[in-house]
Amino acid sequence: MQILSTLPDLSAQAERWRTEGQRIALVPTMGYFHEGHLALMRHARSLAHRVVVSRFINPTQFGPAEDLAAYPRDAGRDIALAGAEGVDALFQPAAEAMYAPDHATWVDVPALSSVLCGVSRPTHFRGVCTVVLKLFHLARPHVAVFGEKDWQQLAVIRRMARDLNVDVDIVGHPIVRESDGLAMSSRNAYLSAEERAQAPGIYRGLLAMAHRVRQGERDAAALLAGLREDLKRDVPSGEPDYLSIVHPDTLQNLTRLDDAALVAVAVRLGRARLIDNLRLLPL
């Protein structure tokens, strides 16, 4: 596996592969790999001749009061894990290389970025879109793989790619969970033992909601009230940031569930802010 840390090195490698007719898949990450990241890499492997993984803690997607400095990192372990997955190139640039001191250009999708996580993280998706578009220009992928754990991120990037005619297939990958149902996340490392024991209650709450939908409940307010009760009981240390039932593509709140619906939640638990989601309809 090549380890690339400069932008010209990545561009040159991408250019060589393109010239040889090789199909390139990109998996953007912030590192501290877990099984969720590795599943994306494996999926990317199945879609292309060459897999590029970026490992970059993107400063522009963190708010001023967020965990940029504390975000977990372990370069040696990440390199070993990506190498074992057959990744062709690991791109890990310095922040100063990615952003000029007078960087002034942003890619924003306000209609999808201002809801759900965007309410408490107003500049987050602007940072995500900007860095992802930069990575697309550098790695020149034919396909890019993103996790459905960050459903809103996937929806925002799909819209950006469509609206700006970005010639990259955006592929989603299902959420990878711990055996007790907790969605894997680098931020799970922030949880105390007591918080970790409560955290699977979030997914249990989503499953209980899906069960109520299967039994015929279609009223979003009733379903959300049920979820709020379940979380109060099973995740007593958790503080919901939002609990929402939305259309999976537009991310607009639904009052009644009819053709397509997704429940998306963010819960603050100790130092961690955990997100999760589950498709409710179609059944």
* Residues within window 174-213 making contact with ligand AMP, judged by CB under 6 A: 175-176, 183-186
* 60 contacts 126 by C-beta, under 8 angstroms: yes
Asked if residue 146 binds ligand AMP (CB under 6 A), the reply is: yes
Which residues have CB under 8 Å from 203's CB, separation 6+? Answer: 177, 181, 182, 183, 276, 278
Stretch touching ligand AMP by CB under 6 A, among 12-20, 173-181, 212-220, 249-257? 173-181
Q: Do the bridges between strand 89-91 and strand 50-55 make them parallel or antiparallel, or are there none, so unpaired?
A: parallel
Asked if residue 30 binds ligand AMP (CB under 6 A), the reply is: yes
Phi, psi at 264, each rounded to 5°: -130, 135
Asked if residue 91 binds ligand AMP (CB under 6 A), the reply is: no
| Residues linked to residue 279 through DSSP beta bridges, in sequence order | 262
Instruction: By CB under 6 A, name the one of 4, 24, 36, 156 that touches ligand AMP.
Output: 36
Q: Which is nearer to ligand AMP, 207 or 222 (CB)?
A: 207
Which residues have CB under 8 Å from 85's CB, separation 6+? Answer: 38, 41, 42, 45, 51
Q: How far is the CB of 218 from ligand AMP (least distance, A)?
A: 28
The CB-nearest residue to ligand AMP is: 147
Calculate ∠ Cα 43-47-49, nearest 5°: 115
Residues with active-site annotation: 37
Asked if residue 150 binds ligand AMP (CB under 6 A), the reply is: yes
Sites of contact with ligand AMP (CB under 6 A)? 29-30, 36-37, 40, 146-147, 149-150, 173, 175-176, 183-186
